[in-house]
Amino acid sequence: MSKRELKKYVATLKKKELELQIIDLYERFKEVKVFYDFAFNPQEDKLVDQAKAKIANEYFPVKRRKPRMRRSVAQKFIKHFIDIGVSPTNISDVMWFNIEIAQTFNEHRQLKQPAFYKSMANSFDEAVKYSTTNGLIEDYKHRLLEVYKRAKLQNWPELYAMERTLDLLD
């Protein structure tokens, strides 16, 4: 069904029928429930804090011994936040936090996995592009430069990729 056909269909419904359909969607589909829960009670700070806690737990686990270091956890939160309409400032904050916590972990335990560095270089690129696209690059320039400096101090193998991203800013 196209969007135009949907609009025609919705226009033919009476108010009570439309209300019943929305309630049915809310009960059946988790995504609809999440959307409406956020739309009517947008506790962005709470969501961001929960996301940061789970991302930090990937590197510095509370209940298990071994860190998992999965970038995908942060990526899922970022995608989810974009889908439900969290403010770009909070999304950028989570993006930069993800890289910063990974760098803190790397300071304590130097990693030898090239995939980790490549993944973090991709995260850096995405964070810079997202911040630039949403007009937030000036707000996050200090964090951006700090991330780059720490990567340089830690001798990241993917430093050239980060430098290429920085060249795009100039």
Distance CA 34, CA 86 (A): 12
Cα–Cα distance between 38 and 47 in angstroms, integer? Answer: 10
Tens digits of residue pLDDT in 117-167: 899 999 999 999 999 999 999 999 999 999 999 999 998 888 888 999 888
Q: Are 92 and 134 in contact (CB under 8 A)?
A: yes
Q: Let me know whether 126 and 141 are in one domain.
A: yes
Does the pTM of the predicted model rise above 0.95? no
pLDDT at position 31 is 86
Residue 23 and residue 96 in one domain: no
Residues 134 and 146 in one domain: yes
- The domain tally of the chain equals 2
Residues 63 and 132 in one domain: yes
Residue 38 pLDDT: 81
What amino acid occupies position 94?
Answer: V
Same domain, 104 and 58: yes
34 with 47, same domain: the answer is no
Domain assignment of residue 25, given as a range: 1-41
Query: What pLDDT, in 10s, does the model give residues 21-72?
Result: 999 999 999 888 888 888 887 888 898 999 999 999 988 888 888 888 888 8
Contact 67, 58 (CB under 8 A): yes
